């Protein structure tokens, strides 16, 4: 019988590293890390804009419900049903919301809309105040003001709120410009192109929604 061929062992000795192989130096690792960080930092505004854009419909829904509740409560309350409203009423109505953040109570409460700004008093917050609309005096209507809104919310925020607002103004590229006035003669319909043209880049836009 011919001799059986020798079987190879299933366990192979570790191969020796080639003479040209070496690890990464600290300088190389640092360069790669810096590049990754730069890419991440450059992408933050785009990510933030995407988050804000997707949040607009939910913020709009909260405000639409609030407007509907205010109008229902004002039925039969005379010619100036909103003369005593303030941000505290808005804060109480939205305190349980998972979309906006509420801090404090009363007229000094902070209601952060989450669409730009720092979410503190005077930056990225919403305010509620009496307004004079049409031929009525102060309190015949009310105004919702959103400060420091990011351009990623333009003009979608106005488009959502135009369904429940009589007058809408946008301030960003210069002073406030009225983009809808249902109380004018003749009425001025909502103009999304004009609203978009007023929006400035960044958290620099103020929206005022006036309701009768």
Residue 15 pLDDT: 57
Question: Across residues 74-101, what is the average pLDDT?
Answer: 95
- β-bridge mates for residue 186, sequence order: none
Strand order in 167-171's β-sheet?
101-103, 110-112, 125-132, 138-150, 203-211, 167-171, 177-181
Q: How many CB atoms lie within 10 A of CB 129?
A: 18
Residue 4 pLDDT: 59
If pLDDT is split at 50, 70 and 90, which confidence band does 48 have? confident
- Residues 159-175 have pLDDT tens digits of 999 999 999 999 999 89
Q: How many CB atoms lie within 10 A of CB 79?
A: 10
Share of the chain above pLDDT 90, in %: 71
Question: Across residues 187-202, what is the average pLDDT?
Answer: 96
Kindly provide the residue ranges of all beta strands, DSSP E only, lying in 113-158, ordered along the sequence: 125-132, 138-150
CA angle 170, 65, 152 (to 5 degrees): 35
- Residues 117-174 have pLDDT tens digits of 999 988 999 999 999 998 889 999 999 999 999 999 999 999 999 999 999 999 999 8
Q: How many CB atoms lie within 10 A of CB 126?
A: 27
Is 109's pLDDT higher than 60? Answer: yes
Is 62's pLDDT higher than 90? Answer: yes
Is 110's pLDDT higher than 70? Answer: yes
Is 79's pLDDT higher than 70? Answer: yes
Radius of gyration over every alpha carbon of the chain, rounded to an integer in angstroms: 29
φ/ψ of 209, rounded to 5, equals -110, 115
Q: What is the 3-state secondary structure (H, E, C) of 11-46?
A: CCCCCCCCCCCCCCCHHHHHHHHHHHHHHHHHHHHH
Distance, CA of 14 to chain centre:
58
Give dist(CA 38, CA 76) in Å, integer. Answer: 60
Residue 84 pLDDT: 95
When the pLDDT of each residue in the chain is averaged and rounded to a whole number, the result is 87
If pLDDT is split at 50, 70 and 90, which confidence band does 49 have? confident
């Amino acid at each position: 019988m011919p001799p059986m061929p020798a079987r190879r062992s299933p366990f192979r000795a570790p191969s020796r590293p080639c003479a040209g192989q070496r690890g990464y130096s600290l300088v190389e690792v640092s360069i790669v890390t810096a590049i990754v960080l730069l890419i991440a930092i450059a992408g933050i505004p785009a990510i933030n804009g995407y988050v804000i854009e997707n949040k607009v419909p939910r913020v709009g829904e909260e405000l639409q419900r609030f407007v509907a509740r205010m109008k229902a409560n004002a039925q039969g309350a005379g010619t100036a049903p909103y003369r005593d409203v303030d941000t505290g009423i808005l804060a109480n109505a939205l305190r349980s919301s998972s979309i906006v953040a509420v801090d404090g109570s009363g007229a000094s409460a902070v209601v952060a809309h989450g669409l730009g700004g720092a979410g503190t008093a005077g930056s990225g917050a919403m305010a509620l105040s009496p307004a004079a609309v049409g031929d009525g005096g102060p309190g015949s209507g009310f105004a919702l003001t959103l400060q420091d809104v990011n351009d990623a919310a333009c003009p979608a925020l106005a488009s959502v709120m135009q369904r429940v607002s009589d007058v809408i103004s946008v301030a960003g590229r210069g002073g406030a410009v009225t983009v809808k006035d249902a109380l004018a003669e003749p009425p001025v319909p909502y103009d999304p192109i004009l609203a978009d043209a007023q929006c400035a880049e960044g958290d620099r836009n103020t929206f005022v929604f006036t309701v009768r």
